[in-house]
Structure 1
Amino acid sequence: MVIEVTDFKVGTSYAMQEVYFSGGLRGSLTDHGWVIYPISDDTNGDAFLFRDPRSHYKFAVEECGLQFVGVCVQYQMGVNEPPMEVWESGRRDLGRSLNAADSWKAVSHQAAVAGDKEYSRLASYLSVCLKIAGLRLRDVSRRYHDQLRWALYGQKKVGGWFSNAAMLDLYADFHSLLSELSSARDHLARIAAIHGGAPEKVDSLARLEEWLSKANNSSQASEPLIVLLLSASGTKEQPCWLRRLGDIRNEMLHRIPMGANKSVSFLTLEEIETSMGNIKKIRLGEPSSEMPLSKQAPDPLVELSELSSNLEVLCSAAWKLAKYKAEPPRFEAKSTSGI
């Protein structure tokens, strides 16, 4: 299908690519090579420089033990033009030009062309939730980056604990991130339920599991898309990462709001010795003599970044099992001048 575009402009844009890591650290490409920053409160020596992206990534992930969160490419057409950001979260199938969100949007388009309105609608919902979850993960990482900069410029002590008013914005972004990740999970579960012939009321992973537990429906558990989901979820006795996502979401949104959770009530700086010098990162935790930092749960950004990455991989595998191909429409510019 070809879609004609009439309001089409060609111009010059400016792009900047940044790589987001856990701990508030960030990487970007400069005229001299790749840098990782911030590393100090000295604006003249605030970054480590690397000549190529491979050594930059290896230093951050392997030597510093940072979690790769995602890549953000910012485009700017002009001062009075709206900016555009392209965000890629975590792992993806680099052999394809489309990420999971765009692939499901393409599936939605093909379903609409075929006249399958419900499938098109659900695939579109899944695509949007994946997109927004990515943006919220980006925003959480930005909050960490801001907190790290403030801590370095404020010369906070390594191992000390502190808090500030801006943490409430961080908590709000975490809530939004978990909500969108969980919505994406349930939209995918509803699509899987359609593949298995389940009724319309089966519209979440929990309801799909409940429906499959009934004897007359158990045979549908062998449907490939349902198998994919159940493998990622595991069982209550042996839970996998998708069930862990649900547990975190239920705790944060239904039991203990993040801003009232003592286990993430403060920020602290950790210091890492590297071959290029010491580097600091920031994380959430709880000041407790009974529970040292090494024994506390992983930092929420680290864990949710990994869960987001897992969901990207799951949804990328799932579109290959969809009823319709992930083929996006073709756009052609149409002249409005009559030439």
Structure 2
Amino acid sequence: MTVQETTYSTFLHFSAGLRSTQDEEGAVRFWPIGKNQGVEVTSFPDGKFGEIVANADLRCIGNEERVWSSGYEDRYWNPALVPNLGANIADWPGHDWAALGNAHRERNEDNPSRLSSAAGFHLMGASRRLMHISEWYHQMLLYAHLEGFHDRMAFSNSDHTNFLVDCHSFLNEAGSARDHISAYAANAIAGLAGVGTLTKLAKRSSELPDGLKAIVAEAWQESTDKLTLKHIGRYRDEIVHERPIAALSKGLFETQSFDLGLDHPILGVKFDIQVWPDKKADVKFDALRQFHAMLRVLYEFGRAVISLAPIKPQAPTIIGGRGGVKVTPIPTRRIPFP
């Protein structure tokens, strides 16, 4: 039976590095991309999947697995997806917010320290859960292949349970990080009355991160000329006090759709995830991309607010600033990803 390469399908939401093959009878099978397919362990996947990942502003990381098959050793690339926020894993924004919390503590600012440290903790937790989701999705495809389910995807009972748990945990961690970042930004906005419009602030390039104006304009879908800090401030109570994870109380294995409450004017995007208990699960790729875009906006906006906040003369340098606030990384422990 001959096997030929076929195009990458939408099944590769989280599988990040599987190739699909199709036999003469039309059955589609999924296989890891190994070095014999020309993909190095540390390289970015080529072809259609690489294009999809790049367009979603994600990137692939992975570790090497050596497997003996038919008497010879093959090396598989065991991949996962992470937001494309930096050159290496340490650039995941959780590290920046955790470092910012350390800087606040050195300045004896307890409330900002608590908010930024908590944001860093939850962001790093969310990133770990995202790695787990990728791993379970990979296992789901392999299970479907081994059980002969070529026309649909299927979980083993244990993998399905773990997948659901990690999906819920990811939502919980990400929602908590969103709350703390929003509270941090709102707390800083309260002291910035009368500063002017974001457009005027964007002209002060030494005080704003690169590309903030374009990011905000795209995410909020309206001109930055109309967005004053006073206008943003009107939403801060709604942002800070809105709890997006209330749906979790409905139970872990119900059919449900989670809305993180991100459809108000200050964010302009919505993240939605649907989970079914009947041996199938669909995490919308577009929704994941939108969530990452929302997280980037919150992160960049927080950095902008940080750069505008008054800094005491004796204050240490902190991560995330531009211009008057020097960027000095504070050593943090790298997260062990799968």
TM-score normalized with structure 2 length? 0.53
- 1:214-249 deviation per Cα after TM superposition (whole angstroms, max 9, x unaligned): xxx998996889x999985789xxxxxxx9xx8984
CA distance in 2, matches of 1:329, 1:25: 33
Letter of the structure 1 residue corresponding to residue 188 of structure 2: H
8 Å CA contact retained: 2:144, 2:154: no
8 Å CA contact retained: 1:25, 1:145: yes
Letter of the structure 1 residue corresponding to residue 175 of structure 2: S
Give the paired residue count.
238
CA distance in 2, matches of 1:260, 1:154: 26
Give the match for residue 179 of structure 2: 186
Tell me by how many angstroms 1:330 deviates: 6.2
Task: Rate the CA distance shift 1:65–1:117 in 2: closer, same or farther, 3 A.
Answer: closer
CA distance in 1, matches of 2:85, 2:153: 37
The alignment status of 1:60 with 2:49, answered yes or no, reads: yes
Structure 1 residue corresponding to 2:299, chosen from 291, 298, 315: 315
Structure 1 residue corresponding to 2:101, chosen from 102, 108, 123: 108
Tell me by how many angstroms 1:96 deviates: 11
8 Å CA contact retained: 1:100, 1:316: no
Task: Rate the CA distance shift 1:54–1:309 in 2: closer, same or farther, 3 A.
Answer: farther
Structure 1 residue corresponding to 2:276, chosen from 237, 243, 265: 265
Alignment partner of 1:260: what SS?
coil
Root mean square deviation of aligned Cα: 5.0
Letter of the structure 2 residue corresponding to residue 145 of structure 1: H
Tell me by how many angstroms 1:320 deviates: 4.0
Tell me by how many angstroms 1:197 deviates: 2.8
Tell me by how many angstroms 1:308 deviates: 3.6
- 1:50-104 deviation per Cα after TM superposition (whole angstroms, max 9, x unaligned): 25677724431437999676544669xxxxxxxxxxx872121449973311111
CA distance in 1, matches of 2:20, 2:152: 18
Structure 2 residue corresponding to 1:126, chosen from 115, 119, 131: 119
CA distance in 2, matches of 1:220, 1:133: 34
The alignment status of 1:25 with 2:19, answered yes or no, reads: no
CA distance in 2, matches of 1:257, 1:304: 22
Give the match for residue 329 of structure 2: 328
CA distance in 1, matches of 2:176, 2:135: 23
Task: Rate the CA distance shift 1:194–1:172 in 2: closer, same or farther, 3 A.
Answer: same
The alignment status of 1:147 with 2:158, answered yes or no, reads: no
8 Å CA contact retained: 2:44, 2:50: no
8 Å CA contact retained: 2:19, 2:33: yes
Give the match for residue 47 of structure 1: 33
Letter of the structure 2 residue corresponding to residue 328 of structure 1: P
- 1:254-294 deviation per Cα after TM superposition (whole angstroms, max 9, x unaligned): 4x5452217643678xxxxxxxxxxxxxx725xxxxxxxxx
CA distance in 1, matches of 2:63, 2:221: 38
1:130-209 to structure 2, matched below 5 A, reads 130-159=123-152, 164-197=157-190
Task: Rate the CA distance shift 1:330–1:69 in 2: closer, same or farther, 3 A.
Answer: closer
8 Å CA contact retained: 1:72, 1:88: yes
TM-score normalized with structure 1 length? 0.52
Letter of the structure 2 residue corresponding to residue 314 of structure 1: L
8 Å CA contact retained: 1:108, 1:119: yes
Q: Which has the higher contact order (CA 8 A, sep 6+)?
A: 1
Alignment partner of 1:328: what SS?
coil
Alignment partner of 2:151: what SS?
coil
